[in-house]
Chains A and B, each alone.
Chain A
């Protein structure tokens, strides 16, 4: 089944404790992206990647890191999480999101930082 897989689905952590949210896609997509979703603010892009070793900042990159060492994986790293990073996170992939393919989203990771 073609899909984007994120793990974990739920995560509660403490301020400052480094964490990684994994994302993997099995559709051989070139493009991958991370979004966060907050009430009233909609989906905001954190980082995106156009290919292996090619990444760029989205609208809200502060406090996040990404890497794209393999085509299928695009982990999101929070080196020192803070409470304002409590949010619902989505990983997404696409053949070409700027054309009519749009993005296919993973199931989401609900992160709480206390």
Chain B
């Protein structure tokens, strides 16, 4: 079992809709959780981080963490074509709190 799993997609949503991206992780003692956005041919860019159970909102982005169910999700409200990218989930795993382990990413396309 992979340590961090994401649906590879592609996920397509119409402009203005809510895009929902999901990530599950296997290590129950994971500590911090991150969402990165990566445009084609570019480097990953941190867009959200979350540490505690519940929701964390930043503009159009909301990260949701449920440690009991071992999943973290990213909601993008009012999706724009400029949100089309690959979204990477990353988890700080126990035993190596200074490392980040990444999922393989979900490709999102927002259709005009």
Q: Footprint of B on A, CB under 8 Å?
A: 31, 33, 35, 40-45, 48, 50, 58-59, 90, 96-108
Contacts and interface: CB of A to CB of B under 8 A. Distances in A.
Contacts of A100: 32, 49-51
Given A42-B88, A97-B92, A103 B104 contact: no
A44 B43 CA distance: 14
B90 interface: yes
Interface of B: 8, 31-32, 34, 36, 42-46, 49-51, 88, 90, 92, 97-105
Contact of A45 (B36, B49, B101, B104): B101
A40 B43 contact: no
A94 to B, nearest CB: 8
A97 B46 contact: no
A108 B39 CA distance: 13
